[in-house]
Structure 1
Amino acid sequence: MHIHMRGRHKSMRPRLHVHLTALRYFIETADAGSMRTAADRLSVSPSSVNRQILKLEDQLGCKLFDRINDGVALTAAGKVLLACVTRVEHDLETAATLIDDLRGLKQGHIHIACEDGIGRDFLPGTLAAFQAEFPKVTYTITVRPSVGIFSMITDGTADIGLAMEPPAPADIKAEAAEIMPAGIITAPGHALAHHRTVTLQDLAPHRLIHSRIGLGGVALLPAGTDQEPPFVNTNSPDMTTSLVQAGLGISIRTPVGIISDIETGRIVFIPIAEHQASPPKLCLYSRRHRGLSIAAEKLAQRLSADLPSFRNRVRALVTS
């Protein structure tokens, strides 16, 4: 390898082809103050070091060292060159580190906060592909409702968050978002199970099992809807699904988190027909005005790129 070194004006000085080996020998000699000591450190002969130094001096047209009885001392020109090549060496090390990071060669750690259903149906597929490409990256995944996810992003505990869109604080930004279908889930034998779609009024006679917003639940019942208070309130999406499967009621939600139950027929998902002023969105969040690590940024990019295909999968599931 060699470095092209140009003069201030091309017309005044031809391009120099300076080999990294010569620069390494020069740096070692300057540090040791002796070509013999430098040669010992480099495991080469003193004559090899001397040849490389002479080659540099010939290319630059000046002396880099004064030969003294017990070694060598840098000339003024040598001190200038040493300062320059030290900066180059540092820049090359920095570049190598950044390139290693970009390639995923260095170990990184990403803390993800997500809702339970998103962690079940969306996140694993993307992480599997990402980990195959970047095997040294490790993860902490914390399942929280959306409010807890925002808190973790704000205080820096989490790098990125995945949640169904609630109102976000001012210091949180959505990196990407995709609308998810909203509807009800029922047991296969429920009275509404054969419907292609339902209206909110259709739900009034039926017992509602309510899962908290941010844990699978969706706020769709407007004020004034003739709906009794929920038959069951729970903070567990799995409990909600189990109660619905047992025929104890219906629940309003998106399919995210119960895709396998819908695909196998254990649960029936029925879209709600009314237009929703604010349809549920699956969002990727990060903290505004705070940069992500290279690993976290690359994962955020991958998650953003995978969201549209996940949206299409969910839509196809509920319209088939």
Structure 2
Amino acid sequence: MALRNQRIWQYIDEVARVGSVRQAAERLNVTPSALLRRIQDVEHDLNAIIFERHSSGVRLTAAGEVLIGWIRLQTSELRRVYSQIEELEGLQRGEVRIACSQAVARSFVLRHITNFRKQHPNVKFKVAVTDHSTAVRSLMEYEMDLVLIFRPLRSLELHPIMSIGQGLVAVMAADHPLAKNDILRLRQCAEYEVAMPDIAFGGREIVESRLLSSSAKLNVAVEANSFDFLGELVASSNLITFQIDIGADTWRHDPRYAVRRISDIDRTYGPLVLGQLKGRPLPLVAAKFAEQMARDLNDCRSLPTIPGGEDWSGEEEEDVEDIGLEK
């Protein structure tokens, strides 16, 4: 693909994403008529219509779907070429695109981006904090290079670079009646009102599945899609919320909170997966960032302490994979 054609591919991609020639033109700072002419030129060259009109804008035709897949693949490959060229300049430029769970965004990913940019200040980052299914979909659509997500759905497209076990912890106010215990059972937590993330979050799925066969039931007083909101809420109330071990680091260092491990008997464990799209080589800068995170993740495993606990996740843990860099 000639580099001079890169702009029109960007134009077509933007129209496909927003579903409107006018809105795409505003974002691209071109006139709608000029954008439409460029699209018509491509349709003429292909001898196929790539967009069809509907009441609220435009959508891709079958031919357009084929073209947009090719465009995104070529754009991804071109980014990798740029990255390899930048390697010759000592990793001075480039962009890392990562989709991650809220649990790891607020501390782990934030810390790693800060540290990475200290060494490579001209590297840019694009971070999407989202749920696990959306994160995997963003890999498949070449919108992201990496994901770091808890309990992703099984997908043939997701290739794990590293997977580590993570247990749940209960988070509550420092003066909560249960704070006097070092380890809690889920049934103890169920005696109090809880503040929970919505069902799209892996931790919520684990807690509810473990209580299905129990007489104890959660009394969900508040549901929210923000862990920061839930944290502030439990700090000033008698509510309890739950988080994976690695996601509770900020609260552990805040005197307003008590963070207590859930007993291994309740088997509230799952895999935290750092992954990439299967079969797609990572750009150099993204591979370097993945290597940095993988080394740290290796020290963040939550390991069961009861006999037989090694089977908690149903998933095999994977060590750092060779991603083309020195380990």
TM-superposition CA deviations, 1:82-131 (whole Å, max 9, x none): xxxxxxxxxxxxxxx94741664452111111122311111122223322
Measured at CA, do residues 174 and 102 of structure 1 come closer, stay the same or move farther in structure 2, by a change above 3 Å?
A: farther
1:275 is matched with which residue? 265
Please say if 1:224 is aligned against 2:213: yes
Measured at CA, do residues 124 and 252 of structure 1 come closer, stay the same or move farther in structure 2, by a change above 3 Å?
A: closer
2:79 is matched with which residue? none
> Within 5 Å, which residues of 2 pair with 1:1-320?
98=84, 100-101=86-87, 104-212=90-198, 217-218=203-204, 219-221=206-208, 222=210, 223-225=212-214, 226-275=216-265, 277=267, 279-311=269-301
**Distance in 2, Cα, partners of 1:98 & 1:286:** 18
Measured at CA, do residues 273 and 107 of structure 1 come closer, stay the same or move farther in structure 2, by a change above 3 Å?
A: same
**Distance in 2, Cα, partners of 1:271 & 1:123:** 22
Q: In structure 2, the residue corresponding to 1:231 is in which secondary structure?
A: strand
- The two structures have a TM-score, normalised by structure 2, of 0.60
Measured at CA, do residues 156 and 278 of structure 1 come closer, stay the same or move farther in structure 2, by a change above 3 Å?
A: farther
**Distance in 1, Cα, partners of 2:92 & 2:250:** 36
Amino acid at match of 2:228: D
TM-superposition CA deviations, 1:199-241 (whole Å, max 9, x none): 1221231112111356584422421221144122111111211
**Comparing 97-106 and 148-157, the one that deviates more:** 97-106
Q: In structure 2, the residue corresponding to 1:163 is in which secondary structure?
A: strand
Amino acid at match of 2:226: S
**Distance in 1, Cα, partners of 2:279 & 2:102:** 27
- The two structures have a TM-score, normalised by structure 1, of 0.61
TM-superposition CA deviations, 1:5-40 (whole Å, max 9, x none): xxxxxxxxxxxxxxxxxxxxxxxxxxxxxxxxxxxx
TM-superposition CA deviations, 1:109-161 (whole Å, max 9, x none): 11111122311111122223322333332111111121221111111101001
**Comparing 269-278 and 110-119, the one that deviates more:** 269-278
Measured at CA, do residues 174 and 161 of structure 1 come closer, stay the same or move farther in structure 2, by a change above 3 Å?
A: same
Amino acid at match of 2:116: F
Measured at CA, do residues 125 and 117 of structure 1 come closer, stay the same or move farther in structure 2, by a change above 3 Å?
A: same
Measured at CA, do residues 246 and 298 of structure 1 come closer, stay the same or move farther in structure 2, by a change above 3 Å?
A: same
Amino acid at match of 2:269: P
Q: Based on CA coordinates, which of the two structures has the bigger radius of gyration? A: 1
**Distance in 2, Cα, partners of 1:163 & 1:184:** 20
**Structure 2 gaps, min length 5:** 1-82, 306-327
Q: In structure 1, the residue corresponding to 2:293 is in which secondary structure?
A: helix
Identity of aligned residues (%): 21
**Structure 1 gaps, min length 5:** 1-96, 316-320
1:210 touches 1:217 (CA, 8 Å); kept in 2?
no
**Distance in 2, Cα, partners of 1:271 & 1:242:** 19
**Distance in 1, Cα, partners of 2:271 & 2:113:** 21
Measured at CA, do residues 178 and 244 of structure 1 come closer, stay the same or move farther in structure 2, by a change above 3 Å?
A: same
**Distance in 2, Cα, partners of 1:233 & 1:224:** 22
**Distance in 1, Cα, partners of 2:115 & 2:156:** 32
**Distance in 2, Cα, partners of 1:182 & 1:303:** 21
2:145 touches 2:276 (CA, 8 Å); kept in 1?
yes
Measured at CA, do residues 149 and 214 of structure 1 come closer, stay the same or move farther in structure 2, by a change above 3 Å?
A: same
**Distance in 1, Cα, partners of 2:238 & 2:268:** 29
**Distance in 2, Cα, partners of 1:102 & 1:121:** 32
**Distance in 2, Cα, partners of 1:168 & 1:276:** 23
Amino acid at match of 2:99: A
1:104 touches 1:137 (CA, 8 Å); kept in 2?
no
Q: In structure 2, the residue corresponding to 1:130 is in which secondary structure?
A: helix
1:188 touches 1:266 (CA, 8 Å); kept in 2?
yes
Measured at CA, do residues 216 and 165 of structure 1 come closer, stay the same or move farther in structure 2, by a change above 3 Å?
A: closer
Point out which structure has higher relative CO (alpha carbons under 8 A, 6+ apart). 2
**Distance in 2, Cα, partners of 1:165 & 1:125:** 22
**Distance in 1, Cα, partners of 2:91 & 2:181:** 52
1:253 is displaced (CA, Å) by 1.9
Amino acid at match of 1:180: Q
1:3 is matched with which residue? none
